[in-house]
Amino acid sequence: MIVKEEFLSKLRRYFSLNLYEVKIWTALLSRGVSTAGELSDIANVPRSRSYDVLESLEKKGFVVMKIGKPIKYLAVPPKEVVERVKKNVKSAADKQVDRLENLKNTDVVTELNSLHTQGVELIEPSDLSGSLRGRHNLYNHLELTIKNAEKTVTIMTTSQGLMRKVEGLMPVFEEVKKRGVKIRIAAPLTKESMEAAKAVKGVAEVRNTDKKARFTVVDGKEVVFMVMDDSEVHPTYDIGIWINTPFFASALEDLFELAWAAMKPIKA
């Protein structure tokens, strides 16, 4: 049996298996039913390891052990394997989420918060900055920054950026809106982004602009701005800068205020 290394690597990533497991599994799939010894020879896996590997695959739902002598193993149909793996992943994720949720009310988080508070007190204002690599990290930090807003959230973004923010940040927009935070968003409104603008209209004021910029100012203190054009960069390579500086943030917000007055509100 010859299976390309690239294909084996894909299987390892998709199904979270080690190299011996994917080799034995694909060998069994090619035979349908086989003994551990036969699979060891076909997959080029040490015979001493093949039994452990098959036991692991059995527990994960990839194979079924047949009763009899010699012991043989039956391959579970791949479609069924996918469904089983999905259930296992979801179950494990749910358990992890529950553990983390329960962690909120423990002394562990109290101690961590205490450490963080002490650390922040020692930080110079000029040190409250950092670079954010990858759009996933950017939006995680945006969510945290906006969630802590007390008065205002000012956003300048692209049409695609508007759609991403409405899709990914709507819950946090609604949360801070209930606390009385004023949210304003300026973006080029296209046919595609207009639906997003209307969807967020209940929690934020949206206006149309023909300018291209990507930044968020919170409470006139914190700024997150992106240095790349999102239409020309892959999400993995998107880069943002976060700074906590009232001097720069308030100046940027004042400039936004001038531009905002000239922008047209969206029509109902």
Is residue 70 domain-shared with residue 136, that is, in the same domain? Answer: no
Counting Cα atoms < 13 Å in the Cβ hemisphere of 103 gives 11
Is residue 247 domain-shared with residue 154, that is, in the same domain? Answer: yes
Q: What is the mean pLDDT of residues 14-39?
A: 92
Q: Does residue 56 fall inside a structural domain?
A: yes
Which residues form the domain of 194? 127-265
Q: Does residue 170 fall inside a structural domain?
A: yes
pLDDT higher than threshold 70 for residue 240: yes
Is residue 25 domain-shared with residue 142, that is, in the same domain? Answer: no
Is residue 175 domain-shared with residue 65, that is, in the same domain? Answer: no
Is residue 148 domain-shared with residue 259, that is, in the same domain? Answer: yes
Per residue in 52-109, pLDDT (tens digit) is: 999 999 999 999 988 878 889 999 999 999 999 999 889 989 999 988 888 888 888 8
255 within 8 A of 156, measured Cβ to Cβ = no
Q: Measured between alpha carbons, how far is 102 from 96 in angstroms, rounded to an integer?
A: 10
Per residue in 156-189, pLDDT (tens digit) is: 999 999 999 999 999 999 999 999 999 999 999 9
Is residue 142 domain-shared with residue 235, that is, in the same domain? Answer: yes
Confidence of residue 121 (pLDDT cuts 50, 70, 90): low
Greatest Cα-to-Cα distance within the chain, rounded to the nearest angstrom: 83
- Output the CA torsion 255→256→260→262 (10° steps): 40
Q: Which amino acid is at 91?
A: S
Q: Does residue 122 fall inside a structural domain?
A: no
- Per DSSP, 233 falls in state S
Is residue 39 domain-shared with residue 134, that is, in the same domain? Answer: no
Decide which of 68 and 8 is more confident: 8
Is residue 31 domain-shared with residue 150, that is, in the same domain? Answer: no
Alpha helices in 122-199 (DSSP H): 135-147, 159-178, 191-199
Is residue 135 domain-shared with residue 257, that is, in the same domain? Answer: yes
Q: State the CATH number of the domain containing residue 164.
A: 3.30.870.10
Please report the pLDDT score of residue 104 as a whole number.
Answer: 81
Q: Does residue 109 fall inside a structural domain?
A: no
Q: Does residue 89 fall inside a structural domain?
A: no
Please report the pLDDT score of residue 139 as a whole number.
Answer: 93
Q: What pTM does this model have?
A: 0.60
Q: State the CATH number of the domain containing residue 64.
A: 1.10.10.10
Please report the pLDDT score of residue 141 as a whole number.
Answer: 92
- Would you mind telling me the total number of residues written for the chain in this entry? 268
pLDDT higher than threshold 90 for residue 23: yes
Q: What angle do CA 143, 148, 153 make, to 5 degrees?
A: 75
Q: Measured between alpha carbons, how far is 37 from 73 in angstroms, rounded to an integer?
A: 11
Confidence of residue 142 (pLDDT cuts 50, 70, 90): very high
Is residue 139 domain-shared with residue 253, that is, in the same domain? Answer: yes
Map tokens 């199904």 to a residue. 15
Q: Does residue 97 fall inside a structural domain?
A: no
Is residue 149 domain-shared with residue 245, that is, in the same domain? Answer: yes
Which residue, among 11, 6, 3, has the nearest Cα to 27 in the 3D structure?
3
Q: Quick one: what percent of the chain has pLDDT higher than 90?
A: 59
pLDDT higher than threshold 70 for residue 25: yes
Q: Does residue 113 fall inside a structural domain?
A: no
CA distances from 53 to 37, 49, 60 (A): 12, 6, 11
Structurally, how many domains does the chain consist of?
2
Is residue 144 domain-shared with residue 74, that is, in the same domain? Answer: no
